[in-house]
Structure 1
């Protein structure tokens, strides 16, 4: 077969372009894995060049307070999918939330970005076509089934076991069929690690709706789990598994929710945990199972639940349509009681979280008269000035958790203990994308240096 004929038979637009040939618009779209294979060699050279030019340069001081303060603000990780700017908010591969809301493909008749497109962006840095996103939806639907023994594990869990504990159990158990674990045992070359890591990551994301749906129905009822519909997108299938597939507004909410919760740079507990465990060459199932255990912590994934509890307590005390004065008094009573106003403030951001803004715009469009939403908006107008007056926060503005619970409640998903599972489905996108690139670029085992308190004291005593 001639070189030109081989290229034509490949139906690969990229290969045809490289050869200077024209191709038909009806050619099969390049898959995510094929595009990634094209990008990896150049990115390896880019990393080499960056290290050669800047590798010996200091990237900021390390303060003792940072060591004792949970490494807050300490530059210590490479995370390519997203970067969080204190003034601007999150950027996914350089694009803001409004950027991706405009640019990413939508479902037919939909207005919110499809998470499939966001994953493509996280992995490649490129906006996919509608056809590429449709193929990704089909691929995930084809991978969505979970092994029978994992179904049995979930079915045997008592309903009193927290949904996040069940979620972590099931994801960890998927390691049984890990392509990476098998390939590693068979002696795969380090240069090829990314391939089975990609397959595991695709399987992980694809199977999460079935796991999440089974947990929801086992714990809260709802009958037999419906089958995955290969003609529908990821968010529709997740909504349908939860029993909300016939509510198009809820499906749209899930598309937005998964997209904006998918990644938030690498320093948060779940993302960092996934990267750290993955650096030991644990497969993506083991790495993300560990990440979920971090996400389950009250200081991480449970924040929107705490917001909703606080809002409901407020409503029970001062009514569903309180005056501004009544709300102000309740906020002050919260602060004077030694508590924080949940959903306000952020470790990095110094402005209103763009993820909050995106949810507020969704609510204004779909549920402007909802009483809980009106209360959330009322609080938004009052809390920042009160927090500044009280001197309680460097950033008095709302974060993503200040709004999400109110939206989910409006559509009937009222089981607050389950909310973190939805967060867990979403955050897999960012963690998986980074795991793929870590294996492609040969990221090493993470092993930071630790010091004892006495060692710190000795270091500075010797310097004095």
Structure 2
């Protein structure tokens, strides 16, 4: 039997072997995707790190949509972000300190923490060479392999004591920007023949500034402050998002930090999780080309209606960047990002594009409600503006999802540390109901 035919035959067998009737999920009260019937997540754990709020439960059943809120260690993200913006300073390191420790640092602690981050940014020489040798067009894969490579150079890689977990957390947060910047410059050199630049991180720069310096050297202060805000907004999003839950599940086995974080990177890489901002960016470019009058509400509404009816664009029936698993009336991250996006558009001469995107946001929500008519309240999410912001800063699509990882590594480490340090910890092991009847064994000569 030819190998190609055998693979085809096995694939056809798989088609039948994976068929499970939808009614069986209701019959056995199985929560598909760990989701309840009302779309909310199944409660599987407790945490003191992040809280995502998008609705209130009504006594007697049902959900009431409310403006979205996101809390980091009990602090309202809007309060944290507005303080950072008002004082025109960089806040990612402060938020990282808060998420890792559970409290806000004072000036001396924050200064020492920033210095610690900078001290740990440089990579081992062998890791640098490994990135250079890892030719490929997906930086998320290079990031995952580089994280696993870090295991080799850690003399206490398998130590899950509290002190060691914190040391590893700081090392990972520090090195993600360097790995991503080096990986992109290598990708650009290998695929586009551009000169290969390896710039070393600089002292007295914030993490956001250092990343832009290592990636492309030239940037404005507003570029760096906007990137810093994006990192703050995406640093944590509760224990139930897929990549963080992946890190917690993996960590519950007692495995090493690098294996757990590599698993989180693999989860975030999926297009249903970390790749959403790329899809929004592609959709925005498509609408720029296909909407003749960027101010015409009727033309925009008609096109969105056709998109929802699977007639145009990629015919999925989706408007990317609209809707969220938890947020209903609003996503606080989108509101905060929009504030700086407007300023950045003014600096970059992209005010017309920003006005178009803002109108698209308004009309998409309106058309979605009218066409779907399902009583569901939706809003734009943070991805609606993040891709546009990345492009204005001059960042390529290849690093959109890695940038998400660069922020979320803080939340991943905080949740891993919590998973391994609370009393009564247990390996996470949910159950699956088998719905196949037993069959008698058939000897090979009778098959």
TM-score by length of 2: 0.80
Aligned residue number for residue 362 of structure 1? 340
Deviations 1:192-231 (A, max 9, x none): x111111111111111111011011111246322111121
Residues 294-373 of structure 1 mapped to structure 2, 5 A cutoff:
294-319=267-292, 321-337=294-310, 338-368=316-346, 369-373=350-354
2:379 aligned to which of 397, 400, 420: 397
Question: Deviation string for 1:80-137 (max 9, x for gaps)?
Answer: 2101111332111122221112446x7xx96255111101111233222233222111
- 1:209 corresponds in structure 2 to 177
Aligned pair 1:412/2:397, yes or no? no
Task: Find the counterpart in structure 2 of residue 131 from structure 1.
Answer: 108
CA contact 1:113–1:259 (8 Å) conserved in 2: no
Which of the numbers 366, 373, 388 marks the counterpart of 1:385?
366
Contact 2:158 2:257 in 1 (8 A): no
Equivalent in the alignment of 2:254: 281
Cα 1:110–1:208 shift into 2, 3 Å = farther
Q: C-alpha separation between the residues in 2 aligned to 1:326 and 1:404?
A: 25
Aligned pair partner of 1:90 in 41, 45, 70: 70
Q: Deviations over 1:142-166 (max 9, x none)?
A: 111222222222111224x311111
Say which SS state the counterpart of residue 85 (structure 1) adopts: strand
Q: CA deviation at 1:407?
A: 0.7
More displaced 10-residue stretch of structure 1: 198-207 or 237-246: 237-246
- Residue 68 (str. 1) matches residue 41 (str. 2): no
1:144 to 2:121 alignment? yes
Look up the match of 2:240: 267
Q: Distance in 1 between matches of 2:72 and 2:27?
A: 29
Determine whether 1:257 maps to 2:230. yes
> In structure 2, do the counterparts of structure 1 residues 133 and 245 end up closer, same or farther at CA, with 3 Å as the change threshold?
farther
3-state DSSP of counterpart to 1:83: strand
Q: What is the alpha-carbon distance in structure 1 between the residues aligned to residue 305 and residue 298 of structure 2? A: 11
Segment of structure 1 superposing worse, 129-138 or 262-271: 129-138
Q: How does 1:101-250 map to 2 (within 5 A)?
A: 101-103=81-83, 111=88, 113-159=90-136, 161-178=137-154, 180-183=156-159, 193-221=161-189, 223-250=196-223
- Rounded Cα–Cα distance in structure 1 between residues aligned with 2:422 and 2:217: 41
d(CA) in 2 for partners of 1:281, 1:208: 23
Q: CA deviation at 1:245?
A: 4.9
For structure 2, the 5+ residue unaligned runs are 1-25, 55-65, 190-194, 311-315, 438-447
Distance 1:348 1:302 in 2: 18
Contact 2:159 2:256 in 1 (8 A): no
Shift of residue 182, structure 1, vs aligned partner: 4.8
Structure 1 residues 239 and 269: CA distance shift in structure 2, 3 A? same
Residue in 2 aligned with 1:19?
none
Alpha carbons 2:157, 2:257 under 8 Å: kept: no
Supply the distance in 1 between the matched residues of 2:239 and 2:355 (Cα, whole angstroms). Answer: 33
Label 1:320 to 1:95 Cα distance change in 2 as closer, same or farther (>3 A). Answer: farther
**In structure 2, how many angstroms separate the alpha carbons of the residues matched to 1:63 and 1:276?**
27
1:351, distance to aligned residue in structure 2 (A): 1.7
**In structure 1, how many angstroms separate the alpha carbons of the residues matched to 2:93 and 2:295?**
41
The aligned residue for residue 12 of structure 1 is none
In 2: Cα distance, 1:250 partner to 1:139 partner: 24
Q: How many residues align?
A: 381
Partner-residue secondary structure (3-state), 1:453: coil
Q: How far does residue 454 in structure 1 lie from its aligned partner after superposition?
A: 5.7
Cα drift, residue 367 of structure 1 = 1.9
Contact 1:305–1:416 (CA<8 Å) still a contact in 2?
A: yes
User: Does 2:406 align with 1:425?
Assistant: yes
User: Is the partner of 2:31 in helix, strand or coil?
Assistant: helix
Q: Any unmatched runs of 5+ in structure 1? A: 1-61, 185-192, 456-464
Asked whether the 8 Å contact 1:145–1:207 carries over to 2, the reply is yes
* CA spacing shift, 1:140–1:286, aligned 2, 3 Å: same
Q: TM-score, normalised by structure 1?
A: 0.77
